[in-house]
Amino acid sequence: MNFTYVLPEIIFGCGSLERITEILKNSGLKKPLVVTSHGMVKREGYLNLIGIIGSSGLSLAVFNRVEPEPSIDTVIDCLNFAKEDNCDLVIGIGGGSVLDVAKKVGMDLKKMKLMIPTTAGTGSEVTHESVLKVNGKKKAFVDKELTPDVALVDPELTMTMPPRLTAVSGIDALAHAIECYDCKKDNILVKTLAFEAYTLLKDNLGKAVSNDREARINMSLGSMMAGMAFGNSGTALCHALSYPLSNEGIPHGEAVALTLPYALEFNDFDEDVIKEIRRVISEVGLTSGFKFQGDAQQMAETVAEDTRHLSNNPREVTLNDIVGIFNKMKKDF
């Protein structure tokens, strides 16, 4: 048995945002760049972060133009912004889109990277992957240098997530856990983390959508553990199937919710697990009202090009298989 595991330093727990002061002091760095989205700048977690940095006596720069499903052009804009301000530390605070941009910027600048998730879903704070749109299509950049130096996961920052975002993010995390459990690149650590993450996520997502505090804490933990798992093994067919939907504007978590049961059925996954997945998805209402409008053949051709995900799938997938899956989805929706 041989494998390599890549992880950042992890700080987890309610109130752990306060440890930013300690991290900044120990780093000896002078000019943080805070990367976030426009919507984050009025939220309590972001304002607390800015206050903590300010109380440390450091000046900072803020790039708040990260969009959902971000483009490589946003990374370039952020890089230029950081260079103009001579930033020596990259702090990402937000959802997966923000963290993916912040990690790529930090890697390209060769600077320390500190990631602070405000959603419980992507696990991006602990992975060495960044998903960005290039020429309008999603592309995954995978590099050990993308690994954050520190992942600071404070569940308090997720407490104000609206129900829809909680559901979308949570299903994404659930897909990470279940897909990597049985992929070709799995190992004993991946399986152990993925199983525990799956249990936490399926048992707590519905309650978290209803704003149960303990459930939200468990979702943050489950999401992080799923990221620790899939970040070291990758995902498979479900994520490949989801990309054409995301390219058409469907949020990633919703696209994953739509495709996950079909991918699991194709892979002959345990029927009881598939039933449980469908129950959870139905409970949070993510697929209600969806109308499949894409061209199955064209979408399948896009998926067939995604050899990174398909080669990691436990079962071989042909173009005709993918067309069949999309046609089944079209019939069901």
- Domain regions of the chain by residue span: 9-158, 163-332
Residues of the chain with pLDDT under 50: none
Beta-carbon contacts of 151 under 8 Å, excluding residues fewer than 6 positions away, are: 8, 9, 10, 11, 115, 117, 125, 126, 224
Q: Are 286 and 167 in contact (CB under 8 A)?
A: yes
What's the residue count for the chain? Answer: 333
Q: Are 195 and 181 in contact (CB under 8 A)?
A: yes
DSSP state of 41: G
Q: Topology of domain 9-158, per CATH?
A: Rossmann fold (3.40.50)
- pLDDT value at residue 108: 97
- pLDDT value at residue 132: 96
- pLDDT value at residue 285: 86
- pLDDT value at residue 137: 86
In the three-class reduction of DSSP (H, G, I as helix; E, B as strand; rest coil), residue 19 is classed as helix
Q: Which of 111, 120, 113 is nearest to 87 (CA)?
A: 111
In the three-class reduction of DSSP (H, G, I as helix; E, B as strand; rest coil), residue 71 is classed as strand
Rounded Cα gap, residues 122 and 225, in angstroms: 10
- pLDDT value at residue 120: 97
**163-332 architecture in CATH?**
Up-down Bundle (1.20)
Rounded Cα gap, residues 39 and 58, in angstroms: 24
